Chains A and B, each alone.
With several copies, the nearest count.
Chain A
Amino acid sequence: MANSVNMSVKLSNIIFKNPILAASGTFGYGFEYQKYLDLNMLGGFIVKGLSVKEKKGNKPPRIVETPCGMLNAIGLQNVGVDRFVNEKLPEIKDLNTHIIANIYGSKEAEFVEIAEKLDLEKAVSAIEVNVSCPNVSKGGALFGKNPDSVFNLTKLIKSSTKKPVIVKLTPNVEDISLIAEAAESAGADAVSLINTITGMVIDIKAKKPFLANKTGGLSGPAIYPVGVRMVYEVYEKINIPIIGVGGIYNSDVAIQYIMAGASLIEIGTANFINPDITVKIIKGMREFLSRENIQSVSDIVGAAHSM
């Protein structure tokens, strides 16, 4: 019964078997989760952000818990695009799910270099451009806060790859829809939002910020109302698909994002708490749709706007 629900969604030329993706930075390179779930059940997963060269990341402490959330300042520790292609991709390339590469550069040319390299990899379905990382000093969210730089960067990347390009937006702006519009007009195939909200925890014994990086990005259930609101706002302004992310921890919240206007959703921090949460959310969404007699998940994308 529940299986009769149509969960598939389309983004550009890709068909996802369901709208659930694992979010970048919370799912390693995918295979780490093989022990906990069948990766083929996912719509797809987004690998840890890739830079041109291997990056060491920030000094520890890098994480700290907050009420229903956590701060992280990993600083994009990653193996670099070449080692990703040579060492990691072979382990996951035969999966029957979509692998999306998340990319990051400290200047435009770096983004382009990574995009060009990934363009050659058949196993990579799409590229998510992280212009919103709050935890690196150069590039990162600085790009993502300015509509013009988002426009220029998106255009450049679009011309360096034939793969669909998703621009991942930062919530640390006054009006996120301006940035979404810039991405859309530059030809982005989709936008994903939100990345983490910048926050700080202070170690009152040591009288200094708890994280070595001082600030970190707030993620987890605490932030979901902010993400839903932003997806709702962006949906009223752009026509390309939106991927909703931020604090999703159960299928009800996933559906909130979809009704706010997201075509797909990404699960981040919740993977840390329950490594198989993605498949539980797929199941919960199916059950909801079938209980409510909704035939296809795409029927409710943006449903909360119709009133």
Chain B
Amino acid sequence: MELKILENIEIASNIYSLKIDNPALFDVVPGQFFMVKINGFDYPLLRRPFSVASFEDDHIGIIYKVVGEGTKILSDKKPGDFIDLLGPLGNGFGDVEKDKKILLVGGGIGIAPFIYLKNVLENDYKISYKAFFGFNTKDEIYIDFGEIATIDGSYGFEGNVVDMVENEIDNNSLIFACGPTIMLKRLAYLCYEKNCDMQVSLESRMACGIGVCLGCVIETNDKDFKRVCVDGPVFDYKDIAWQTL
């Protein structure tokens, strides 16, 4: 689907907000993603997966961090340029049980999908939640809600977001989590300990995004390989073989 870029601006250090014309052809569940073709020719070859950070009548929003060649090239695109999206893909966050204490826990660029999730929780589910987000430094912060931790202490809680959220978690918590693997892993061990529920969004290198290449698998506790693109990217943390990540 060739769609027009409406906006592509740096909103925090190395973090960009990309807004794309919404063709109004589909709905999106928070946690779902698009496979984005960076150029109109075969370089870089593979599409890049990006979560939906906002989904409004007039635009689809993606927030991305420049980490390699593809995102670098993406950051040079201008409003009016066209970009090719495949999706929405994957299983988003689901099963919001109203009697649970909902916690959103995100780290770095993994916070992007929570912007859309917040919207859905507030407007569709009309449910309350608490949000805890971790960044390395103040200048990487690109959101305007939730409690913030920074590793260098330049803003909010000094330290890791897991340290910040730890005391909030009890066996009635339902956590939605997304961020670096190391953070998710610590959260998972914490959840086992506190016996709570958690849905985690995982990342993995993808070629197809539609379940056919079997390139994006992660190991699950039943000794199986599951595809992040179609069996995830959101998983029940209890299914994941965390020791293999």
Contacts and interface: CB of A to CB of B under 8 A. Distances in A.
Interface of A: 25-28, 32-33, 48, 56-57, 59-65, 67-70, 72, 74, 77, 220-221, 249, 269, 271-273, 275
Given A56-B225, A60-B217, A60-B225, A271 B45 contact: no
13 contacts: A26-B212, A26-B213, A28-B211, A48-B212, A59-B219, A59-B244, A70-B46, A70-B207, A272-B207, A272-B212, A273-B42, A273-B47, A275-B208
A77 B212 contact: no
B215 interface: yes
Contacts of B207: 63, 70, 72, 269, 272
Contacts of B166: none
Contacts of B43: 67-68
Contacts of B152: none
Interface residues of B, number: 28
Given A57-B214, A57-B217, A62-B214, A271 B46 contact: no
A273 B42 CA distance: 8
B217 A62 contact: yes
A59 B220 CA distance: 11
Interface of B: 37, 42-47, 86, 204-219, 223-225, 244
Contact of A65 (B45, B213, B214, B244): B45
B205 A63 contact: yes
A62 B217 CA distance: 8
Nearest to A56: B225
A25 B219 CA distance: 20
Nearest to A54: B224
Contact of B44 (A28, A57, A65): A65
B42 A272 contact: no
Most-contacted residue by chain B among A25, A48, A63, A271 (CB, 10 A): A63
